[in-house]
Structure 1
Amino acid sequence: MVRDPVERVISWYYYVRAPWYFVERKQAFPELPLPSAMWLRKDYETCVLTKDRECQYREGDVRPDFAQLTEFFCGQEEKCTGFNTEYALQKAKENVERHYSVVGVLEDLNTTLTVLEHYVPRFFKGSKHLYWNEIQRFSKVNRNIYKPPVSEKIKDIVRKNFTREIDFYEFCKRRLYMQYAALKLPDN
């Protein structure tokens, strides 16, 4: 499953600042210090505009704070490490074609679940129906109330450094939509 890389990094930024994250982290690793109040209160827009190191995304940088899509799908080779690299992009695309029957897109769950049901029915038959019938029960799970909206202006600034990550995300979306079209399902 892939997600828009810029939305994903924004979500991660606020996730690691959410109160429950630090409670769980402190319980698991009591010796680690708690972050400063200033760090916790810093919003993403300020972080980007002030060119804070945390919100700088430079090609080739090693980013242990969040995993890039290309790095994940590229694999464990040393050349796969580093943010937004050409090698990781090409190898990730190759690996998706070679090793994944379906790569879903979070922003289009209907299409993802439909394709999964048809391409991998042993595991996903009925998943769309199950998801949409159960979503009401779990609609508040994994919602971060501490994540404010981020302006398109800021997202556009960040997108300039996510070129290959976005390329890979769009590649996965196109592939999913081609798989969906190949099903030749009647319009509902």
Structure 2
Amino acid sequence: MILRSFPFAQWVLILILAVMIIYLRLRISELEESYRSLHDVVVQARIDTTRNDARVEAPSNPEDVVVIYNRVPKTASTSFVGLVYDLCKQNKYHVLHINVTNNMHTLTLANQVQFANNISNWNSIKPAFYHGHMAFLNFEKFGINRTPLYINLLRKPLDRFVSYYYFLRYGDNFRPHLIRKKHGDTKTFDECINIGQPDCDPNNMWLQIPFLCGHDPACWEIGNRWALDEAKRNLQRHYFLIGVTEELNDFVEVLENVLPRFFKGAYNFFLHNNKSHLRQTTQKLNPLPETVEKIQQSLVWKMENELYNFALEHFHAVKRRLINASLQDANQRFMYEKIRPK
């Protein structure tokens, strides 16, 4: 009876008001969601615009960075690591040397797993710079999403080989009183080649390829073409930067530009301190032209030289767009547009 006392027009008005209230609530909810989305976009844009000056994408959290320098012997690695140690205090990061039993360059599978997990989860030591004479290890195979930044230096293969030959006999100026294992053998590299002594066999140059190739047994098979191709693939896909010994200054300059968390102030320090050439082999003689020609006929030299030239070309491409940048590259920026849905 009470419902019948209300005129029909009033019922229509109440119904319209109810519909309008429901509609307004839905619109308010949509506007709130749009505002949250827009706010997220703006915040992300602010974060991204702070990186506009970076030529290489910087890690999202600079305090959660791990750099691994799996240093090849006799490539000026001691000089470079000396710089890293000199900078660690002022730039606030840790440096750790990887020391593998008996100077082995590869780890057992069990140690690979432990090493990858340890480096990834040892947060109290981050940011961290690890270095050691160890072959490349792909962390992705262990299901680790945040992989370390790998860097390295390569050297002309014959130069590295000759340097190592004399190093084993005469040592260097870094630890001049340490007796090396070939101490007392005064034969020159040319004489060693002429008589076919085993320690100057060109096959012994097979080192930079397996260091970049990794832990697969095939990487260490001398003359394996797959190993060379795999080393190239790893250089392109997994290494943050690979430089060359002959352009060590430029390598340091590039690193300061693209990885300032570790290398801020590195270039100027490297140029003006007395540690730029910390380790130099004593009594090293350049081989005769006929010795060089004989070495260059070997398959291993050709393959190692191919990797070196590949790395050199790759490094020069980075340098051209950074150190010797054109006006277009120097002024390059990026931005986000046409973000949908609105």
Whether these two folds match at TM > 0.5 is yes
| Distance 1:186-1:132 versus aligned 2 partners, 3 A rule | farther
- Give, as a single letter, the amino acid of the residue that structure 2 aligns with 1:11: S
What is residue 294 of structure 2 aligned with on the other side?
Answer: 157
Question: Does structure 1 residue 13 correspond to structure 2 residue 165?
Answer: yes
- Give, as a single letter, the amino acid of the residue that structure 1 aligns with 2:254: V
Give the TM-score taking structure 1 as reference length: 0.78
Secondary structure of the structure 2 residue equivalent to 1:101: strand
| Distance 1:145-1:57 versus aligned 2 partners, 3 A rule | closer
- Indicate the structure (1 or 2) with the bigger Cα radius of gyration: 2
1:91-170 to 2 correspondences below 5 Å: 91-134=230-273, 137-138=274-275, 141-161=278-298, 162-170=301-309
Q: Deviations over 1:43-78 (max 9, x none)?
A: 1001112222222224xxxx5xx7610010000101
What is residue 70 of structure 1 aligned with on the other side?
Answer: 209
Cα distance in 2 for residues equivalent to 1:110 and 1:156: 30
Find 2:188's aligned residue among 9, 21, 43: 43
User: How much does 1:141 deviate?
Assistant: 3.5
Cα distance in 2 for residues equivalent to 1:127 and 1:22: 27
What is residue 180 of structure 1 aligned with on the other side?
Answer: 319
- Give the unaligned 5+ runs of structure 2: 1-152, 328-342
Q: Which has the higher strand share?
A: 2
| Distance 1:139-1:127 versus aligned 2 partners, 3 A rule | closer
1:50-69 to 2 correspondences below 5 Å: 50-58=195-203, 63=204, 68-69=207-208
What is residue 40 of structure 2 aligned with on the other side?
Answer: none
Structure number with the bigger relative contact order (C-alpha 8 A, sep ≥ 6) is 1
User: How much does 1:8 deviate?
Assistant: 0.2
Cα distance in 1 for residues equivalent to 2:315 and 2:277: 27
Q: Is the Cα–Cα contact under 8 Å of residues 14 and 147 in structure 1 kept in the other structure?
A: yes
Q: Which has the higher helix share?
A: 1
How many residue pairs align between the two structures?
Answer: 170
Q: Is the Cα–Cα contact under 8 Å of residues 74 and 95 in structure 1 kept in the other structure?
A: yes
Across the aligned residues of Structure 1 and Structure 2, the Cα RMSD in angstroms comes to 2.6
- Give, as a single letter, the amino acid of the residue that structure 2 aligns with 1:69: Q
Which stretch shows the higher mean deviation, 94-103 or 4-13?
94-103
Give % identity. Answer: 25
Give the TM-score taking structure 2 as reference length: 0.45
Q: Is the Cα–Cα contact under 8 Å of residues 111 and 177 in structure 1 kept in the other structure?
A: no
